[in-house]
Amino acid sequence: MFLAIRELRHEKLRYVMLIVITGLIAWMIFLLAGLANGLNTGMRQVVDQWRPEKIILSNAANKNLSASHLSLSDLTEVKEATNKTAVVQYSGALKLKQSKINVSFLGTPRDAFILPKLTAGRQVEHRNEIIVSQGLVQAGAKLNQLVKIGNNQHKLKIVGIYQTSTYGMAPTIYGDIQTVNATISPETSKNSINAIVTRGGTQTDGASFETLSKMTFINNIPGYTAQNTTLSLMIDFLIVIAAAVIGIFMYVLTLQKKAMFGILKAQGVASNVIIKSLIAQSLIIGVLGMLLGWMLLWVATLFLPTAMPFAIDYVRFMEYSIAIIVAALLGGVVSFRTIIGVDPVVAIQ
């Protein structure tokens, strides 16, 4: 550690540049991770809030909620569930006074166990009443306001507000099943539903159902898996790039210092002492670069637009922080063989 610190002090500019580069890479990793987490949350948030154990779709739906077609009568085919409720879902544009916002309109029985707790107003008690998520309030929705969805001419009254909730990146709203079906089309059966959500032991009678776990359902939300895989690969590549940058830098510095290493060896300094010094340098660079990345992230969050789906998962971010430090250590390993192979006589000449 003594040799490592002495060299860092002697070559300040070089090592500061490497720390800055590592910090910028760490910053980019954290930004991508926050964006990935925000997008993932936006795609699945309402499902997480349901806290379901199983979600039942029609077996012809290919695990897709909007493609599933069931009936309220199918609820009787679900056995042994502690709680069960029907859900119908419709994607449309909510018309506010000065704007249109894409929403996911969810219909449930008025006493459904998956309904969110309200922060204002009351639950749905009559036809053509809805409750909306906080995200729509920020866009201009208000209690007792009359709104329309899509081309439907029926006006819906906002009677309650609940916490922020999204599905497929669109804010959610809730009404009863009949209201949602009437919004979809006047010809839609009032008993039509898309899914049955359950908690507890769940068994179904008949071969027309497909029972999915929560994560299987989430992974089949259109675009969710592809989006998650793409951003995860980008983060992995950035970590590899961080290891490569530090490794190349350390290797070049090692080649430039062969004469110095030769003198140290001629004075009796063992190779493992020099290698430990190199490890210490890599560790310091990784830790300081990671801390710089956190500082830049904190500054960036102060200026990110509110519409940007960004969320920090501290557990995941700590995992990436450790990965950056490990990448720095692996970058330093590249130079070990060069140090071991230094011949004091040849190096001094």
What does DSSP say about strands 70-71 and 195-199: parallel, antiparallel, or unpaired? unpaired
Block means of pLDDT (10 residues each) for the chain, 349 residues, are: 58 78 89 90 93 92 91 86 91 85 94 93 92 90 89 88 93 94 84 91 79 92 89 87 80 72 69 76 86 93 83 88 85 71 60
Query: What pLDDT is stored for residue 284 in this prediction?
Result: 84
Residue 81 CB-density burial (10 A; 0-12 exposed, 13-18 middle, 19+ buried): buried
d(CA 239, CA 245): 10
pTM: 0.80
Q: State both tokens at 301.
A: 């969050």
Q: What is the pLDDT of residue 159?
A: 95
pLDDT at 184: 86
**Residue closest to 211 by CA, chosen among 33, 27, 19, 70:** 70
Q: DSSP string spanning 240-309? A: HHHHHHHHHHHHHHHHHTHHHHHHHHHTT--HHHHHHHHHHHHHHHHHHHHHHHHHHHHHHHTTS-TTS-
Tokens of 34: 């926050």
Q: How far is CA 113 from CA 50, 51, 84, 202, in A?
A: 8, 10, 8, 16
d(CA 285, CA 344): 28
Domain coordinates in residue numbering, the chain: 2-43+225-348, 54-201
Residue 226 burial (CB < 10 Å; 0-12/13-18/19+)? exposed
- The pLDDT value recorded for residue 102 is 92
